[in-house]
Every structure is written in structure tokens, then in C-alpha cells.
Structure 1
Amino acid sequence: MLIKGDLVHCPSLGEVAIMRNYLLRVDSRGYVDHLAHASHADSLSILMHEDPIIIPQGSFLLPTFCDLHLHAPQFMYQGTGLHLPLMEWLNEYAFKAEESLDSKPQLAESVYRRLAARLIEHGTGAVLLFGTIKAETNLILARVMREAGIRAFVGKLSMDISSRPTYVEPSTNASLEAARSFCDRCLDVSASLPAHERLVEPVITPRFIPTCSNELLAGLGLLSAEKDLRIQSHMAEAHDQIQHVLSERKVDDMDLFAQSNLLTPRTVQAHCTFLAPPTLARLAKTGTAVAHCPLSNAYFSAQPFRLREALDVGVRVGLGTDIAGGYSIDIMNAMRQSVAVSRMREGARISGHYQAAGDHTEQEDKVLSVNWKEALYLATKGGAEALNLAMGSGSFVVGAPFDAQCIQVFDAATGEGTGGLDFFQDPRPDGLTLETLEKWWCIGDLRNRKEMWVQGRTISRH
């Protein structure tokens, strides 16, 4: 596949590069094998033998988004029940929904197919998923994501403790065996495929400390190391959750995860809102990444995530929607919310009202806000690096998988804005600019998304 037009990506945090009139070629395995300006000698040589797909003026290619935290079964009740604190919400909504899907495979198929369609509709090409405790239901999820063409990492929940007697695994050993079995079965499904087509993988998923015994956590740490598997969980998310762990285990959840060898470069921990800068520095040394979910944090955390501080000490951070603790499946909303929350934190710092427990005084002189360019990096390359995707993922470079979305901001023939974008001067003479990109970032929506590819293949929401 050969494409000619404007490309946009974030080579580093805070940097947005517009590559105007570039030629990009994708090989038969879905990797970029040529990238240069269309007037470059190599590009001209290629164009002599092949006609490219033309990205018209007013449109551009952007890497697909990465969602680092989404509860697939909770998509069923997205946008409801957000009036309760976390531990009550889990009992009243989450566990019931997950148990329902485990008992109704046809319902699970329906929910997951709709979820896949919505992810594609909103430009998400890679997603880290929490599932349910039943292996068969998670295999349905894995199959649906594979058939949709989404790069998906599926976690069967491990839970040997629960406040809901009907939604818990029978013992620690049974939970460990179920996790091992699911991982083996999930890997077997794609074992016969070429490596570049293995888009779906299993993830070790202790739900969070309150639902996992110390013995289960230790066993899952060993299983992850043995099979070199990714790990996901929740950490330091909400005040009631933190107090519950301290009361029951007499240590905080980060120490328990560390003792169980569950804080590794293969790990993504959601939230981490109660980690102060010194603890974030400790986390960075483990290589563990954080899924920042600003919307759900507003509902369930008593304080926001220290995003700027995490980035400053070298924590790898990506964005998550946290369906259904967050009600929007759109990573564009997660980008906007991450900036809004950081600006409120910065305002509190300037006015002298912000001093969270555990923060040192030297933090008072450091700007806490992030901007739209940094948020776009977190949604693309930052998320890809947090997920340990293939080299170059989340950007346009030779050797990277071609995971891309085509965004239209204005019509090439008329100059009219697309979707919610309005231009009161013809944008065509200037072409694609940083101001136009910022406008799309702020008020663009799914109407601007015209096509999407993962590993070089077109994928569709239909």
C-alpha cells in the first residue's frame, strides 16, 4: 500500500510534527518500509511504478489512539451509577454486570461486538482490557477483538476474595490454574498465525488488592515472569480502597504489588492518584507504566493524578477511558480532561491552595499543567510505549507497524470545515497548520475520522 499526503505524529513529549506531502509505503506484513518527502529521489522512483492513495488537502494521517484501561463488560452500563463511592459502586454495578456476561455468552458476544465497533469509531487501535473471571467469556472477547482487527490485550480477572459470594473464584489455587489456562488458550488461538497477525494477547490481571490474597498475588507474579506476560491492575486509586488495604493487609498496595513481583516493565497500573512524587520516582525505577484516567478519577478518587510530576521523574504514562468508571469511550475526551485537570492543579499551585500530602516544597515552583501537544503524545506514542508495543509504534517511522487513522478537518474542494469545525477564512491557502490541529483537538469528533488501519489493514466499525 502506498499513501501520499500530510502526516502528523508526536516524536517526543510536547512535540507535534507535521510532515507535509510525504510518501509512505506499507509492506505486505503491515510495516512501514518507506517514508520520505514525495519529492525525494527514492519517492519519485517508487511513484514511477505505483500509483498512491492520495490523502486530500484538509486531511491527514495520525497514529491510532491507545486506551490503556477499559473494563469490557462494564461497557454494558456505560454512563450510569456514578453517584456512589468506588467500593459501593463495584458491588452495586460492576460485579453484577460481569457476572451477568459470564452466565450469558450470547449477551457477552453482543456487548463485545458493539464495544469493538465503538472503539474503531473513536480511533482506538490498541486497547488494554479487563474482562471477567470466566475464561470462556474472555475468549469471546479475544475472538471479537481479533475479528474486528483491533490490537487488544485481554485480561481474565483473578479474584479469590469478593464481597459478592456468587462472583469469586473458589480458591487461590483454582484462580492461579484458571489464569494459566486462559493465557495458554488465548495464545493457542493465534499460535498458527504469522507473528505480525497476532494482534490479541492475554494479560495477567489481579483485579486489585482487595480481591486478591497475598498468595494469589505472589502466584500471578511468578506466572507472569514464567510466560513473559503483561500485567495490569489498579493501584492507589481511591481513598476508601486505600484505607481498606491498610486495614486488612497493614501495608499499602504498592508495597504488596512490589513484594509479589507485579511491578515490572511489563506492568500497567491504572490511576495511582495517591502516589506522591517520591513514590512516583520509586515506581519509575520499576519500569511500571500508569494508565491515567482523568474522568473516572474525578468520580472515584479524592484527588487527581500527579501527571506532570510522574512525567518529570520518568514514569511512562498513557491515557485510559476506564469504562465504565469513566463514561466516555473517546480517548479524545481523555486527552482534553487530562489537560483540564492539570490546569486546575496549576491554578491551585499558583494561588497557593495546592499542597497534597507527601509533596515536597520544591514542587511548589514547578508548573503542573500539560498542554494539548503533550496530551496527544500520551494518546499515541506515549500509550504505545507504555504498552510495550513494537518499536516505533504510535509514530510514523520506517519499521513501525502501520496503525493509523485518517482525519479530515476541512473539505479540499470547498474549504468548508468538517463536523463541528468552522473556518471563517478559507483554510486551503495555508493548508494544515498547528492552529488547525489544535482546533480539531479541542472540538473535533468522530465525524472527522474517515478511515482507520491496524497493522496495515483497513478496519471498519461495521
Structure 2
Amino acid sequence: MATLIRGTLVHTPSLGEVKILQDYLLGIDDKGFINFLENASSDAAQTLLSESGAPPTIIPPGSFILPTFCDLHLHAPQFLYQGTGLHLPLMEWLNEYAFKAEEKIDADPLLARKVYTRLADRLSENGTGAVLLFGTIKEETNIILAECMRQTGIRAFVGKLSMDQCSRPTYVEASASAAIDSVKSFILRCNTLEGHLPLHQRLIEPVLTPRFVPTCSDELLSQLGRLSTENNLRIQSHMAEAHDQVEWVRQQRNMEDIDVFDKHGLLTPRTIQAHCTFLDQPMFNRVVTRGTAIAHCPLSNAYFSAEPFPLREALDTGVRVGLGTDIAGGYDVSIMSTMRHAVTVSRMREGGRIMADSRERSKDGREVTNKPLSVDWKEALYLATRGGAEALGLQSGVFRPGAPFDAQQINIIENTTKLAVGPLDFLDGENIRILQELSPEAIEKWFCLGDVRNRIKMWIQGKVVLLKP
């Protein structure tokens, strides 16, 4: 037994279920996996405590341990200009800002390392323990991205962009074959970064990344599909994101982009597609059949998609869904903000459903029984933790023996002063007692109001990667 932790654990083993494990003893082996989890008063826990050569780490009252967040969609080079030009339609915004910023990063390795180091630090500060990253087209710049994430110690799935058409003349790969040669070289170099380490210490992984259908020829997509199948590689892209993008694909390919991806073998259980706001029910059924997961990015959808993502319908269909910040289409690197936006958008959709049902009843007097469309904070917390981990094929996001210990310590009551922390500091009296008890109400308050001030520690694979004084 390498490490023992005693305190309150909070996790979401299934959609809509929040479990608060009061006064539990958790053991972590020397490889960073959970190998013991029981109530601290149990006979087994008491025996383990008595036989242990060292006292456990105590998580004090008013603090709890939560799985780390997963960010399933983030454009690393766009961290450089987040919060810019969001008044434009997607395709115009890409040409005006995104491609230029990515080209600038590719041209300046020192700038790339500076931006990516700060991005990695921000992710750690915000509790993101696993992130799926879009990079740029230049191989070397993506190696810098992988190195920066590795230095911070979080799990990073790094995608070198593949795009051979419909971009700036100076920011596009020469041909499909050149793009494939480049991505093969990147995969080899990325794997070499940690190839000498035992499997449990390998936190960086390359991902095939066709940017989206408009920038990829059929030849390139077909070769990427074969490469994924032959080498069991993950895939990420954008699908059915925005009205102008969807229309572009229809005119360019004379089909929906889900059909383009499927045709080339890019809808797989190893695939995560971002956005998917324009998928209908038969398309969701196909996504489930293929095993593909979706990265829901509610903030950027509000700016660029013209339609909100039908989250409730996707979940009810059985689609694997996690959350993404979509820097810089979204301007906030915090998955906590993304959780809140997911709830807000779903509540607005539910309001629209209620009003539409009311209009139908007043029209002909018949009863309308459409299903509710909203999600609550418990479901959003699941999407940010276990849901995202499942989409990535990880065993994390939940506390159970055999899972890697990827966790964050949240402090809502300061242990010495007994005062609420950070944005919760207005609470006192009876409200303080509610927080000390760590009830569902207290967790919901943190969900709605908490920020980086409440996060004081983070572990990845049992190793501390963030520790505040």
C-alpha cells in the first residue's frame, strides 16, 4: 500500500447519480491505481490503518475529493486569442482569426512553448486532468504541445491537424500523401516521448485529427481511416457544427458530413466528434451503433452553431457524451463553466418545449406529452467527469478499485478559520453548517459558485500535479 487518504469522496458513477462517501478510506498502490475503498469505520479499513506504516492523508471537514475533469475539445493554439471575433459566423471566424493564429504559432517555436506552457498550467488550475487537444499542421509545434502537457503532468491526447484543402494558401498541407507522411512521423515522435516508461506512466497519446470535412479531401480522409484501423488510433474532428459549415459540406460533397466520416471509416468507438448540433434522431442512432462519442461545447455552440445541441435526446439515445471548452470558439478554459452552460442551454430548450406544448394545447385542446429536455447539475457533473472519461476510453472519473487515482481536492470551508472559501465566503451561520455537512445542497452550491480558489490539490495517476499552499 503506497498511500492512504481518509475523508469525504464525491463522484458520479452513473448519469444523474451523485454519491457522497462520508469518511471513507481510499488506498492507492505504487502505480497510482486505487486498490482499497471502504468506509473508514469498517473492520477492513481499521485493520489496514493499524497495519499501515504511515498515517493516512486526512481530508478535513469542509473539503472533499472529486474526480478530475475531462475536456474533450480544445484548440491549443487558439488559447492565444480567446475571446476575439465572436460576432462572426464560423467559417468567416476561422479565416479571419483561427488559421492566422495557428500559422503564427507554427512559425514561432518560442511563442508556442510559452502559450502551451500557460495553457497547461491553466488546465491544471481548473481541475482538468485529461484533455483532447487540436494542435496545428506543423509536426514540431505539436511535439512542443505534447512536451508542455507532459511537464505539467496531466493526461493529454494531442492531435496534429490534417488538412489539405480549403484553407489559407500558406496554412495547408501540400497533398493528402504529404499530410499522411507528416502525421505518421508525428505519431512516432509523440509515442517516443514516453515509450521508455511503464504503461501506467504514459500520459501523452497522439490522435488522428482531420480538422473537419471542408478542409480534408476524400483521399486524405480515406487514408486516415485506414491508418486508424491498422494502428488502433483515436480520431477527433468536428461534425455538424454550424449552419454555414453544414451547408458548405452539402454543396461541396453533396451529402451530410456524418456520411462523409462514415464512408471513410472515421466513425468508430475510438472517435470523438465535437458539437454535432445538427444531428437528428436517425443520426444519433448511427452514432450509437458506431460507438462514437460526442464532445458537447455549449458556449461555442451559442456563438457559432445557430442551433443548440440536443443533449437530452443524445443521452436518452445512449450516445456517450462529455464536455468541451472549445477554446477559442468558447472563451473559458474552465470545465466548471462548461457544466453550467450545459445546464443553462438545456433549461432554455426546456422552456421552449413548454411554450410550444402550451401553444399546441391552446390550438386544439389536446394533451401534449413531449419529454422534458433539461439536464440538471448532477448530470452535468457526470458529463464533466465519468462521462468524459468513458468517451476517452479511460477507467478514471470514478472512485473504485482498479481505477487510476485522478482526483482533485475541493475546499469549501477553511479548516482553521471555519469560514467559507472564495466565492462562497458570503455564507455564514446555518449555511456554514450546510457546507460542513457536505450535503447534496452544499455540492450544488459549489457547482454553481465555485472557482479556482476552492481547488487546492490535484493528483494524476496517484501523483500530485497541483498543490496550493
1:418 and 2:424 matched? no
Alignment of 1:95-110 (within 5 A): 95-110=99-114
Once residues 223 and 24 of structure 2 are traced to their aligned partners in structure 1, the CA distance between those partners, rounded to angstroms, is: 50
- Please give the per-residue CA displacement for 1:221-260, whole angstroms capped at 9, x wherever unaligned: 0001111011000000001101111101111100000000
- Residue 460 of structure 2 is matched in structure 1 by 454
- Residue 369 of structure 1 is matched in structure 2 by 374
Equivalent of 1:317, from 315, 321, 340?
321
Indicate the SS of the match to 1:229.
coil
Alignment of 1:47-126 (within 5 A): 47-48=49-50, 49=52, 50-126=54-130
- Please give the per-residue CA displacement for 1:286-322, whole angstroms capped at 9, x wherever unaligned: 1000000000000000100000000000000000000
- Residue 398 of structure 1 is matched in structure 2 by 401
Once residues 51 and 318 of structure 1 are traced to their aligned partners in structure 2, the CA distance between those partners, rounded to angstroms, is: 37
Indicate the SS of the match to 1:460.
strand
TM-score for the superposition, normalised by structure 1: 0.96
- Residue 239 of structure 1 is matched in structure 2 by 243
Cα distance change of structure 1 residues 363 and 279 upon mapping to structure 2, 3 Å threshold: farther
Per-residue deviation, 1:121? 0.6
> Structure 2: which amino acid aligns with 1:164?
R
1:272 and 2:276 matched? yes
- Residue 364 of structure 2 is matched in structure 1 by none
| 413-422 vs 181-190, which moves further | 413-422
Per-residue deviation, 1:364? 6.1
Indicate the SS of the match to 1:202.
strand
TM-score for the superposition, normalised by structure 2: 0.95
Per-residue deviation, 1:412? 3.2
Alignment of 1:73-222 (within 5 A): 73-222=77-226
Per-residue deviation, 1:461? 8.0
Once residues 199 and 254 of structure 1 are traced to their aligned partners in structure 2, the CA distance between those partners, rounded to angstroms, is: 30
Equivalent pairs, count: 454
| 405-414 vs 449-458, which moves further | 405-414
Q: Is the 8 A contact 2:296 2:324 kept in 1?
A: yes
> Structure 2: which amino acid aligns with 1:328?
D
Once residues 24 and 341 of structure 2 are traced to their aligned partners in structure 1, the CA distance between those partners, rounded to angstroms, is: 32
| 45-54 vs 144-153, which moves further | 45-54
Alignment of 1:328-343 (within 5 A): 328-343=332-347
Once residues 415 and 311 of structure 1 are traced to their aligned partners in structure 2, the CA distance between those partners, rounded to angstroms, is: 40
Once residues 295 and 247 of structure 1 are traced to their aligned partners in structure 2, the CA distance between those partners, rounded to angstroms, is: 27
| 176-185 vs 289-298, which moves further | 176-185
Gaps (5+ residues) in structure 2? 360-366
Equivalent of 2:267, from 263, 270, 277?
263
Indicate the SS of the match to 2:99.
helix
Per-residue deviation, 1:56? 0.4
Cα distance change of structure 1 residues 363 and 78 upon mapping to structure 2, 3 Å threshold: farther
- Residue 281 of structure 1 is matched in structure 2 by 285
Once residues 412 and 347 of structure 2 are traced to their aligned partners in structure 1, the CA distance between those partners, rounded to angstroms, is: 26
Cα distance change of structure 1 residues 106 and 252 upon mapping to structure 2, 3 Å threshold: same
Q: Is the 8 A contact 2:135 2:158 kept in 1?
A: yes
> Structure 2: which amino acid aligns with 1:271?
H
- Residue 359 of structure 1 is matched in structure 2 by none
Identity in percent: 62
Once residues 416 and 440 of structure 2 are traced to their aligned partners in structure 1, the CA distance between those partners, rounded to angstroms, is: 21
